[in-house]
Amino acid sequence: MKIAIYPGSFDPITLGHLDIIRRAARCFDKVFVCVLYNCDKKAPMFSPEKRLEMIRHAVAELPNVEAELFSGLLADYAREKKASILVKGVRNATDFDLEYQMAAINRGIWEELETVFLPACGAYQHFSSTMVREMIRYGQPLDKYVPLAVVEELERQKKADEDGRI
Ligand code: PNS
């Protein structure tokens, strides 16, 4: 059984991430989407629990995909899951340079841990969670960039803010 992990911060999940998850789900028997929340990124927009909830909604129709939270070393999570494959989406040469290094670091920690790169599909090549957070700050429509679960979460938050102000 080939078990793969697709790790990231997912703050929030984008359609680019979802495309990689769908494609990974066709390549492997089981895919764990792992929301890592110990990264040194400051001030996340969404709590780890909210990120997880949105991912779970977005992958609900994929039977061999599960999403979980993890705080720690990715290699430890992979061992815990008996997974020896990490999946990373690569959009451009900058991503590749970074991911190439991370793959070597992860193999240095556990030499059986392989990283498989999936090239981002052209339509999502310029998508990033950073870009989406910027769109949210400026109130831009998001349906082109993120799964419906994220749009609905933001609508809920907006309504709660408005109700709080009344
Ligand atoms: O979505 P991101 O922020 O680009 O994902 C980066 C992430 C979370 C995959 C990376 O920071 C990571 O693997 N963090 C876990 C800590 C770890 O295992 N570090 C060693 C490998 S670089």
Q: How far apart are CA 17 and CA 12, in angstroms?
A: 10
* Percentage of the chain exceeding pLDDT 90: 90
For the stretch 52-97, pLDDT in tens is: 999 999 999 999 999 999 999 999 999 999 999 999 999 999 999 9
With a 6 A CB cut-off, is 14 part of the ligand 1 pocket?
no
Cβ contact 117:99 at 8 Å: yes
Nearest-atom index, ligand 1, CA of 102? 22
Print the SS3 string covering 132-153.
HHHHHHCCCCCCCCCCHHHHHH
Active-site positions? 17, 41, 91, 129
Instruction: Say whether pLDDT at 41 is over 80.
Output: no
For the stretch 127-142, pLDDT in tens is: 999 999 999 999 999 9
- Output the residue whose Cα is nearest ligand 1's atom 12: 74
Instruction: Say whether pLDDT at 39 is over 70.
Output: no
Taking all residues of the chain, what is their mean pLDDT, rounded to a whole number? Answer: 95
CA dihedral (137, 51, 131, 146) positive or negative:
negative
Rounded distance from Cα 36 to ligand 1 centre (Å)? 7
